[in-house]
Structure 1
Amino acid sequence: MDSHRAAFVAEAEDGITDLNNALLALEADPEDAEAMDDVFRVAHTLKGNAAAMGYEDVSDFGHALEDLLDAVRQGDREVTPELMDLLFEGVDAVEAMVSEIADTGEVSTDPSDLESRLREMEERGTVGGSDAGEDDAEDETETDDSVDADADDADPAEDDAADDDADEGVPDVEVPEPPAGAADLPEPVAYADVTIGDAQMPGVDAALVLQALDEQFDDHVTDPAPEALEEGEYDESFDAFVGGDDPEVVAEGLRALTQVEAVTAVAVGGEEASEPADSDAEAADSEPAAAEPEPDDTEPVDAEPDDADLMEDDAEDAPEPAAADADEATEESDDEGDSGSAGGSDSKSADEIKSIRVDVDQVDELYGLVEQLVTSRIKLRREIEGTDAESDALDELDKLASSLQDTAMDMRLIPFSQVSDSFPRLVRDISRDLDKRIEFEIEGDDVELDRTILTEMRDPLVHVLRNAVDHGIESPEEREAAGKDPTGHVSLTAERERDHVIIEVSDDGGGLDPDQLREKAVDEDVKSREAVEAMEDDEVYDLVFHPGFSTAEEVTDVSGRGVGMDVVRTTARDLDGSVSIESEPGEGSTVRFRLPVTVAIVKVMFVDVGGTEYGIPIKSIAEVARADDVEEVHGDEVVRHEDDLYPVVRLNERLGEIDPTAAERPTETPAADGGVAADEPGDDGFVPADPTTDSGPGDAGEGPTDDGMLVRIREETRQVALHCDAVLDQEEVVVKPLDGPLSGTPGLSGTAVLGDGDVVAVLDVVSL
């Protein structure tokens, strides 16, 4: 995909999301003028960008969509469910066409049927209904035309006075020195000062303007040259010299482009050059003002987009004039000495370039190189430590590599809104299908997560939201009968918690009945009667994640087949996260995801289990202690921590079940600074772990003891203590997920390659 098409698709996809959300706001409050303005502005931008790129099918369809929106904005059409459904259907059609452009560069969808329905809704206020009222509409049109005619026939003296007032407010424009090639332009020559403003993609916007110039005007030159403009090497505005056209024609042509914030055009000398008309919003729609040019005058044309054609940012939000910036740059240059104007220009350009667009493949490649650097750094440190040598240069390398790693990981972080922005439309459509009233709220959409995590979590979140609307929220009649507001409430929140992000989907619906879940589990042979009776309510809620288990009374198009919640949990675990459910019968339910902010590079603690080394992510560890306080309760081994009992999982037994043929690796004699003995255990026998520090749970090695060691896992991850023979050292490693037949193996999250070439399995403490 070429850069221009990629930029168009990216901007169009963002615009479609904005349009969906603006339409939702308009549907919620038809009197919201700001929402109406947002809808119209985004639709106009989509149409204009498509036209500039030459996608006439998208542009023509967008024009029909824009005309219907304009009828709503003018008060000619009311916001009705039928109209909103048609508008949303139109947005879906645009999305389908943009997707085709992204894939093939061409549009194969034929939107003519939907376009005719949009036109019919605009003209008649309904689709496929009676023709009654068309005569009234025609009468109103005739009345409007007569009013316009009366306005055109108003006192000419008043028009002249208005023109004089407008002319007095038009600033003088100094025509700069024309660039090379301008001398060959045919007369008359028009100069245009084209302002694009503070654009996110200045090169792309300039390229679209240049394309429009090529299509509309045969002879023109620009300063800077087109190649520089397409690279974004200009300060919000540039100069254009057009031959063979009047300034008013040039201004009008450029004014229609959505990328152009403002245009000022004047004639460049010559008696044949006509005086440009004031292209103010109303003047552009009326007859051209009388031209009485003087030979040496250069009167400008200020072309600003009007509300009917293009709704851009408010004037007070517009960037500072380029001239003012140039003056500041010149002053700084003068203060520094005889550096010349070029120095000031370079300084200004450096200040203006705030960001660059980078392909995600390049970011992933950089991240892969950083992973290799981390592995090489580990290998180098182990080799140097093996010689008992000390190196300040290696310590410096550690710091630099860590900084590079943090920067590369931050580059992969994107806001939660990249996924959540599409959910309001999803909830709206489902609630409409189910005849339910739902208020949907999103909080924390600015929280950032790794791109891979967000990509993988989109489908699970969609499934959970579907369940909340379908199974959770009751019908308006049921809610009223239960004394609730007939409108249900669903919320999606994201919150950063140290190195994790907590994502919750909550609803105030009927909730889950633990007794009903027990009966379902027995009926579907998921658990025995004795097993479910012995389960606490929190454990019963986890049955929802069992494959094939569903609480739906009947299968619908939305959900109820029992396929999905098990995938939700599997996806969360594959991302080194977890998912849980809390519910209160009659009050609602909450599905909570706990996910890492980033993936791949993690700090792990190495433990010895039967002569084989394994890794446990430090972020999952709460404390480490000697296994000398293990008790037996009802035949099960437990260890006490404060007032809670933690079941003990002996890794040599559990891992033997997972991989009885695991290759043994001799346990290394831990270095003097590599284990846990440095910290004294507390009253409960545990050594506190602090994953936020480099030291982690302890600073000194601990060889095998008679009773072994216990690694207590954080309660929010899993309330359990893992028994191992010894705790070794810890370090940062690159974790590679298991592929092929080993993918999804319970108890294992991936593997790490150590500096000496050994491969160590990293444990998944949740599924052990």
Structure 2
Amino acid sequence: MDEHRQIFIHESHEQITELNNSLLALESNPEDAEAMDAIFRTAHTLKGNAAAMGYENASTLAHALEDLLDEVRQGRIEVSPELMDLLFDGIDELEAMLAEISETGETTIDPEETGGEIRALIEAELAADAAADEPVEADAETVGETDEARETPDRVDGLVSGDLADALTTLAAGADDPLVHARVDVGDSDMKGVDGLFVLQAVEGAFGDYESAPPADDIEDGDYDEGFDVFVVADSPAVVEAGLDAVSQVESVDVTDVSAAVGHEPVVAESEVEGDTGKADDRTEAGADADTTTPATDDLDVEAVDEVTEKPDRAGMDDSISSVRVDVDQLDTLYGLVEQLVTSRIKLRREMDDLDIKKSENLDELDKISSNLQNTVMDMRLIPLKKVVNKFPRLVRDIARDQEKQVDFTIEGEDIELDRTILTEIRDPLMHILRNAVDHGIESPEEREAVDKPPEGRVKLTATRERDHVTIEVSDDGGGLDVDSIRTKAVEKGVKTQGELDAMTDSEVYDLVFHPGFSTNEEITDISGRGVGMDVVHSTVTQLDGTVSVDSEPGEGTTVSLRLPVTVAIVKMMFVRVGDTEYGIPVKNIDEVARLKDVHTVKGDEVIEHDDDIYPVVRLGEVLDEPAASRNGDGMLLRIRPEKRQVALHCDAVLDQEEVVVKPLEGVLSGIPGLSGTAVLGDGDIVTILDVVTL
């Protein structure tokens, strides 16, 4: 994929997500002017980007959406469920176009049907207004005509007294600052539409509303000569000139104060007329002739120059590059090189120990540098949770509307970061959980009102971080899980015996929903079923070295909790010997290491006591079938953290601790209980890493 297309795809996906979420905000509050403005700006940018890249189908559909949104913004079309459905359908079609463009470089999806529905709605509303004696004077773009009919005057005088006069008067109305004209020249450009688009985005980001000649659509299509004209309200012409000079696509810019030409009288502060030294400023006062140009920098005092040069930076027009996009494959390659560096460092350290070489300051320095590099690369892989969850509000909205339910969905902690691999893997499990919460958790408005609940249900996704773990909870205030029904189903399906169920707590019974195919719902829908897909949730989280649990209160709701590590792969490991074999156990899972002592036998099982809690002893030699393992009272005990698993592991000896690169088991070996992966040691030996949860 070429660079420009890759950037276009990436930015368009972000814009579609913004559109979805802003539309959801507008749907919940049709009076939300901020959401309406955000929707219109995003749709306008999406249309311009598509046109600049030559994707006419996408540009045409985005243009139709923009026109419809403009009618809504102007108050000529009311926000309604039918309107929102049409807007969401248009966005879904745009997303489908993007998928095709990403895969093949072009799209074959015809926007005529959806675009026709949008145009028909606009025309019907305009006709209804006219019939009600409230005529709406639509411009050429509103009724679907092209912008070619608009004239593009050549000179400033013609612009401020011609077609743009009314628009410029409106732009300057009520402003204290002057109306500034800028003639922007982009020179000989191979991508005039893209360059023009970047300039307009920079102008909008720095100065807000603007007018242009030719219109923005033509500029974004590259339909202009070497330059175009832009009008903004700003502190001074010098600020506009400095700001536009900082845009890399601009070859040259000429600015003029044109306030007088449209009858605008900006307010001039004393500091702008006279500097601190008492010397009068050479700038003209309000009401000066329209042809008066901005003085050269030499005519300004030092403080004024500072003001001019600082403001564009604060407005986001700094020409320094503060971030870059990195291809995921390149990031993975870098990560792989760091893994090799860590392994080589371990090899070197072990060789020195084997040769009885004294510690070297150079090797210590290498340890420090490689550790810092490792931490930096790990941080580069961290991505905010919102990259995944920001698509969920639309998912919840569509399911609720399909089920004719009312759902208030909120997200907290979306800025918490997780490793890219973990974030990618948990997306589908979280979708499973959310579908279950809305489809089978939240009751219908009638059912909720019958039990004195508000008709609108609540679903909440919350993320919190504690040290090197992140907990994600999805909770709802729906009907909850029936523990007795789960017990009955467990016996019917042969998952547990009645005796085993009697000995289980309610919390343990709730976790049975993770059993493959387990569901207490009599009715299976095409969206979800409580239990359908929950085994996938459990297996995915477990493979990521995390845990998942369910808590519920009948009639009050259900909470599904996922506890996940922040990062994966490079882990500090404690190595133990079992018989003649070496194994690794993640240090983060170990609470205490002690010699084997004070072991009691209860009903034939070995246990130890710690802080009045009982920890069953698991002899690794027996579990792993190591014939040379100790079967007597010798050895060491590793007490595992109770939140992970309340057991104590017995081994023959504890060897050492090291940071190693852990490779997950793949193929037929993946999913084996008790094993989580392998690690390559410095001497080339491959060591199996134990999973204490499934052991």
TM bracket (short chain): 0.7 to 0.9
Partner of 1:493: 462
Q: What is the rounded CA distance, in whole Å, between the counterparts of 1:502 and 1:93 in structure 2?
A: 35
Q: What is the rounded CA distance, in whole Å, between the counterparts of 1:508 and 1:571 in structure 2?
A: 26
Partner of 1:743: 670
Deviation at 1:323, TM superposition (A): 7.0
What residue identity is the alignment partner of 1:761? Answer: T
What residue identity is the alignment partner of 2:435? Answer: R
User: Which string of whole-angstrom CA distances, capped at 9 and with x for unpartnered residues, describes residues 280-327 of structure 1?
Assistant: 99xxxxxxxxxxxxxx96869xxxxxxxxxxxxxxxxxxxx9975885
Q: What is the rounded CA distance, in whole Å, between the counterparts of 1:355 and 1:627 in structure 2?
A: 54
Partner of 2:383: 414
Tell me the SS of whatever aligns to 1:216.
coil
What residue identity is the alignment partner of 1:137? Answer: A
Q: What is the rounded CA distance, in whole Å, between the counterparts of 1:219 and 1:122 in structure 2?
A: 36
Q: What is the rounded CA distance, in whole Å, between the counterparts of 1:214 and 1:515 in structure 2?
A: 65
TM-score by structure 1 length?
0.71
* Contact in 2 for aligned 1:193/1:264 (Cα 8 Å): no
Tell me the SS of whatever aligns to 1:197.
helix
Deviation at 1:704, TM superposition (A): 11
Tell me the SS of whatever aligns to 1:471.
helix
Question: Structure 1 residues 193 and 590, CA, compared in 2 at 3 Å: closer, same or farther?
Answer: closer
Deviation at 1:387, TM superposition (A): 2.0
RMSD between superposed Cα atoms in Å: 4.1
Deviation at 1:471, TM superposition (A): 2.0
User: Equivalent of 1:137, from 130, 134, 152?
Assistant: 130
* Contact in 1 for aligned 2:179/2:259 (Cα 8 Å): no
Q: What is the rounded CA distance, in whole Å, between the counterparts of 1:704 and 1:490 in structure 2?
A: 52
1:364 aligns with 2:332: yes
User: Which string of whole-angstrom CA distances, capped at 9 and with x for unpartnered residues, describes residues 637-667 of structure 1?
Assistant: 22222132222222112122xxx79xx8xx9
User: Equivalent of 1:507, from 462, 476, 483?
Assistant: 476
User: Equivalent of 2:485, from 501, 508, 516?
Assistant: 516
What residue identity is the alignment partner of 2:658? Answer: E
1:754 aligns with 2:684: no
User: Equivalent of 1:385, from 349, 353, 367?
Assistant: 353
Gaps in structure 1 of 5+ consecutive residues: 126-132, 147-154, 183-190, 201-208, 222-232, 242-262, 268-274, 282-295, 301-320, 330-344, 668-702
Partner of 1:332: none
User: Equivalent of 1:723, from 650, 653, 662?
Assistant: 650
Tell me the SS of whatever aligns to 2:367.
helix
Deviation at 1:712, TM superposition (A): 1.6
* Contact in 1 for aligned 2:49/2:197 (Cα 8 Å): no
What residue identity is the alignment partner of 2:451? Answer: A
Q: What is the rounded CA distance, in whole Å, between the counterparts of 2:262 and 2:200 in structure 1?
A: 15
Deviation at 1:194, TM superposition (A): 5.3
Deviation at 1:516, TM superposition (A): 1.3
Q: What is the rounded CA distance, in whole Å, between the counterparts of 2:386 and 2:95 in structure 1?
A: 18
Partner of 2:246: 235
Partner of 2:90: 90
1:71 aligns with 2:71: yes
Partner of 1:593: 562
Question: Structure 1 residues 589 and 408, CA, compared in 2 at 3 Å: closer, same or farther?
Answer: same
Q: What is the rounded CA distance, in whole Å, between the counterparts of 1:391 and 1:72 in structure 2?
A: 72
Tell me the SS of whatever aligns to 2:624.
helix
What residue identity is the alignment partner of 2:130? Answer: A
1:763 aligns with 2:690: yes
Tell me the SS of whatever aligns to 2:432.
helix
* Contact in 2 for aligned 1:194/1:240 (Cα 8 Å): no
User: Equivalent of 1:525, from 494, 498, 501?
Assistant: 494
Question: Structure 1 residues 211 and 601, CA, compared in 2 at 3 Å: closer, same or farther?
Answer: farther
Q: What is the rounded CA distance, in whole Å, between the counterparts of 2:319 and 2:118 in structure 1?
A: 46
Deviation at 1:57, TM superposition (A): 0.9
Q: Alignment identity in percent?
A: 60
* Contact in 1 for aligned 2:197/2:219 (Cα 8 Å): no
* Contact in 1 for aligned 2:571/2:586 (Cα 8 Å): yes
Question: Structure 1 residues 370 and 438, CA, compared in 2 at 3 Å: closer, same or farther?
Answer: same
Partner of 1:51: 51
Partner of 1:15: 15
Q: What is the rounded CA distance, in whole Å, between the counterparts of 1:323 and 1:121 in structure 2?
A: 52
* Contact in 2 for aligned 1:718/1:765 (Cα 8 Å): yes
What residue identity is the alignment partner of 1:585? Answer: P
* Contact in 2 for aligned 1:704/1:726 (Cα 8 Å): no
Deviation at 1:495, TM superposition (A): 1.0
Partner of 1:399: 368
* Contact in 1 for aligned 2:97/2:107 (Cα 8 Å): yes
Q: What is the rounded CA distance, in whole Å, between the counterparts of 2:2 and 2:382 in structure 1?
A: 25
TM-score by structure 2 length?
0.78
Deviates more, 1:408-417 or 1:641-650: 641-650
Provide the aligned length of Structure 1 versus Structure 2. Answer: 603
1:560 aligns with 2:565: no
Q: What is the rounded CA distance, in whole Å, between the counterparts of 1:327 and 1:166 in structure 2?
A: 24
Partner of 1:128: none
Question: Structure 1 residues 737 and 143, CA, compared in 2 at 3 Å: closer, same or farther?
Answer: closer
1:635 aligns with 2:607: no
Deviation at 1:138, TM superposition (A): 4.6
* Contact in 1 for aligned 2:660/2:680 (Cα 8 Å): yes
Partner of 1:614: 583
Deviates more, 1:731-740 or 1:624-633: 624-633
Question: Structure 1 residues 431 and 83, CA, compared in 2 at 3 Å: closer, same or farther?
Answer: same
* Contact in 1 for aligned 2:48/2:220 (Cα 8 Å): no
Tell me the SS of whatever aligns to 1:586.
coil
Partner of 1:582: 551
Partner of 1:446: 415
